[in-house]
Structure 1
């Protein structure tokens, strides 16, 4: 499979690129800064320089030409403004989904957040983030022409992954290593039976591959 990842230089994305390349997929990561390209090549991925905040629909679709799957793992990041929560966490996800349909890419996996909700209340920056993520999730799930899975990890850590997770429609709050998020994404990309699902992810006791199969069969 050819898999294109938005936010290709992110901490989860770089882990995912290594995993997918090791599985002999053809991987490309979309980045804003050309100087990040070397890190992607080291991870086994092709670097595509494109700013999804300012890209046209045509430019975004061109980046997805020939792909079999798209993963949206971009984010405005800590310390960003409420405006960028909207332009990146919502707007770029919407653009990427529209571009996937335009390019004929059906499989779409989006990295969201535990608690994401377009109707979330509050005025803090994190509240804006949860609303933006929730709005993006709702849009891509409803988008005709996409087979979308939404993954909502709990509190991200840089602990070494265990390969053991709790993946379900509702998990409750908890931490999860970025290693295990990437491993779960790698399984989800290859598991179209999870299309249409919104899945929460925290550390648990079930091997990742089994957790993905269980989630699909429980739907």
Structure 2
């Protein structure tokens, strides 16, 4: 399976690239900075320099040719402006979806966030702008009938060692999860039809990742 990951130098993306490569898949990591190509290659992925903020649908479509799935793991990042939450977290996600449709890539996995549905609709606080941007990107993806989408909404991210065990649900209480466990969830989502057209929260828990993902088929 050829999987193109937007935000390919992010912490979760690098972990996912390694897991995909180890599982025999063909990961491709999109990066803005050419200096990041080495890290993506070391993770077992093919690096491609492409900036979603300055690329056209045609540019991205060309890169996605032959892919089986895309993962949106990009983000403006901590300390970025409210404007970049819109241009990366919302518009970048929509651009990737437009390109996936144009390239005939049916599978789209979104790395979102818990709490997007509780964003303050009027606040100028940058984090609230971020949550609104993610909520808009998620809503846009859910409305695309030509894409088989999955929206993964992790809790507070940590750099803890992976446990391999999580809790999933449509609306969970706040919690945390190791980035390494999120990458395992993403791999399982890509490999399992149980996650097709599902949106779910995920935090650390007691259920093995693959069993948790398999249980998504019972979610409404």
Q: Partner residue of 1:5? A: 5
Q: Give, in angstroms, the shift of residue 172 of structure 1.
A: 1.1
* Counterpart-to-counterpart distance in 2, 1:209 and 1:187: 6
SS in 1 for 2:116: coil
Write the deviation string for residues 66-105 of structure 1: whole angstroms up to 9, x where unpaired: 0001000000000000000000000000000010000000
Aligned residue runs from structure 1 range 198-209, under 5 A: 198-209=199-210
Are residue 146 (structure 1) and residue 151 (structure 2) matched? no
SS in 2 for 1:70: strand
Please say if residues 158 and 179 of structure 1, whose CA atoms lie closer than 8 Å, have aligned partners that are also in contact. yes
TM-superposed CA distance for 1:218, in Å, is: 3.3
Q: Which residue does the alignment assign to 1:217?
A: 218
* Separation of aligned partners in 1, 2:62 and 2:25: 19
Please list the CA deviations of residues 119-167 of structure 1 after superposition, one character each: whole Å capped at 9, or x if unmatched.
6432210000000000000001111210000000000000001011011
Q: Does 1:133 align with 2:134?
A: yes
In structure 1, how many angstroms separate the alpha carbons of the residues matched to 2:199 and 2:120? 17
Normalized against structure 2, the TM-score is what?
0.97
Name the stretch that deviates more: 140-149 or 67-76: 140-149
Aligned to 2:15: 15
Distance 1:149 1:172 in 2: 20
C-alpha contact 1:76 1:88 (8 A) present in aligned 2: yes
Root mean square deviation, CA, Å: 1.1
| Structure 2 counterpart SS, 1:117 | helix
Q: How many aligned positions are there? A: 219
Q: What stretches of structure 2 of length at least 5 have no aligned partner?
A: none
Compute the displacement of 1:108 (Å): 0.5
| Unaligned ranges ≥5, structure 1 | none
For 2:73, the equivalent position in structure 1 comes to 73
Distance in 2 between residues matched to 1:119 and 1:157, nearest whole Å:
22
What does 1:1-219 correspond to in 2, within 5 Å?
1-117=1-117, 120-121=120-121, 122-219=123-220
C-alpha deviation, 1:118, in angstroms: 8.6
Deviation, structure 1 residue 217: 3.0
Moved over 4 A (4+): none
* Separation (CA, whole Å) in 1 of partners of 2:64 and 2:173: 35
Residue 215 of structure 1 deviates from its aligned partner by 1.3
